[in-house]
Copies of this chain bind each other. A is one copy, B any other.
């Protein structure tokens, strides 16, 4: 595959390099690999490995990403709200060993299966987080289906803010002639034909990019008498392009979710309670890490920079970040307040008759497990006693 060096039309300050790196694979599907080049504290070029010959077209797309999605951002100083007393200088990349033992199995892009002791470890972490959820007043647990109506995400304009993540579900159009035509084509070609979508007509369902949308959908059009808390564990899906790696950034992953709805004070208290209890759990699990103000990865348009800035200024989103290597941490969840956004979008009324305020907390169980393995290794005998006892 050709390697080409592309010079950026505008220089990118190194402080914004992570923002550029996060977006490059979404710029064009022909980018197989990339490496940034810097001069005098600025990114000035990108070396690309391409699966197509159109390097000029790709260069133009990258310039647009830089202009619209990177340089529009205002870097803010990190603000930390928790720092684990645990300090760690050694990390394990357990993945190759787990692969060799068939303890993890890669079945597709960003799709990983796993066996014991990981099933028990992830189950243990989930039980602890579930207990935090159920400590909140009136909490109720649900198990939701996987499919989510597309109309649920349409209600609050999800696809306009995050067109890069969602996965849509379709099927052959329900008609004996369509089935028969398709089967004939399929038998001729011995594979699903490239024009599959010509036989499909349904776009009613998609896969949930996160779990809390199931809860807002469930409560749509209702009036809540007081504060409500819902917790759920389930599968979520995000197209992560070529960013998938080990258990860190799966396309197909498991979230333990906690949603709270009520007055703004109730939502804030719930979030703060979950944060306090989570930090205590991390310390009990002897995990190094911290928690910082964060923002969502909106797809750029005219108001993106403003959205990100106000989200950060109002501290609506915090992320617990756990180191997985000497120079790298990953977010294992997020603690969010939504104001009245979802109450308005889903017509959910609160105790005062107006749209309910809400917040949610989600933990990526595979990511949390991955950080745990990176810090404690894959041998259960070396895990903190409380964990080892429970899953022994």
Q: In the complex, A140→B164 CA distance in Å?
A: 37
Across the interface, do B172 and A170 meet the contact criterion of CB distance under 8 Å? Answer: no
Chain B residues whose CB sits within 8 angstroms of the CB of A381 once the complex forms = none
The stretch from A11-19, A37-45, A180-188, A262-270 touching chain B is A180-188
Chain B residues whose CB sits within 8 angstroms of the CB of A170 once the complex forms = 167-168, 170, 197
Q: In the complex, A217→B108 CA distance in Å?
A: 10
What distance in Å separates the Cβ of A369 from its nearest Cβ neighbour in chain B? 11
Q: Known: A119-B141, A186-B160. Contact between A174 and B107, CB under 8 A?
A: no
Residues 138-189 of A contacting B (Cβ, < 8 Å): 140-151, 154, 157, 159-160, 163-164, 166-177, 179, 182-183, 186-187
The stretch from A24-32, A286-294, A383-391 touching chain B is A24-32
The stretch from A70-78, A233-241, A306-314, A329-337 touching chain B is A233-241
Chain B residues whose CB sits within 8 angstroms of the CB of A115 once the complex forms = 140-143
- Pick from B141, B176, B241: contact of A28, CB under 8 Å: B176
Is chain A's interface secondary structure helix, strand, loop, or mixed overall? mixed
A27-B175, A159-B182, A170-B197 known; 15 new pairs, CB 8 Å cut-off, are: A26-B174, A27-B176, A108-B147, A108-B149, A111-B147, A113-B144, A115-B143, A116-B140, A145-B251, A160-B187, A164-B174, A168-B196, A169-B169, A171-B239, A197-B197
Among A105, A141, A143: residue with most chain B CB under 10 A: A143
- Pick from B112, B119, B148: contact of A145, CB under 8 Å: B112
User: Is A64 in the interface zone, CB < 8 Å from B?
Assistant: yes
Q: In the complex, A107→B213 CA distance in Å?
A: 11
Across the interface, do A176 and B65 meet the contact criterion of CB distance under 8 Å? Answer: yes
**Across the A-B interface, the 3 shortest Cβ-Cβ residue pairs:** A111-B145, A197-B197, A29-B174
User: Is A252 in the interface zone, CB < 8 Å from B?
Assistant: yes
Across the interface, do A150 and B192 meet the contact criterion of CB distance under 8 Å? Answer: yes
Q: Known: A64-B176, A197-B197. Contact between A192 and B203, CB under 8 A?
A: yes
Chain B, residue nearest A253 (CB): B145
Chain B residues whose CB sits within 8 angstroms of the CB of A239 once the complex forms = 171, 174
Chain B residues whose CB sits within 8 angstroms of the CB of A34 once the complex forms = none
User: Is A218 in the interface zone, CB < 8 Å from B?
Assistant: yes
Chain B residues whose CB sits within 8 angstroms of the CB of A105 once the complex forms = 142, 144, 218
Across the interface, do B169 and A167 meet the contact criterion of CB distance under 8 Å? Answer: yes
Q: In the complex, A137→B5 CA distance in Å?
A: 56
Q: In the complex, A337→B247 CA distance in Å?
A: 34
User: Is A340 in the interface zone, CB < 8 Å from B?
Assistant: no
Chain B residues whose CB sits within 8 angstroms of the CB of A255 once the complex forms = none
Across the interface, do B114 and A143 meet the contact criterion of CB distance under 8 Å? Answer: yes
User: Is A370 in the interface zone, CB < 8 Å from B?
Assistant: no
Across the interface, do B159 and A192 meet the contact criterion of CB distance under 8 Å? Answer: yes
Among A192, A197, A205: residue with most chain B CB under 10 A: A192
What distance in Å separates the Cβ of A335 from its nearest Cβ neighbour in chain B? 24
Among A150, A168, A176: residue with most chain B CB under 10 A: A176
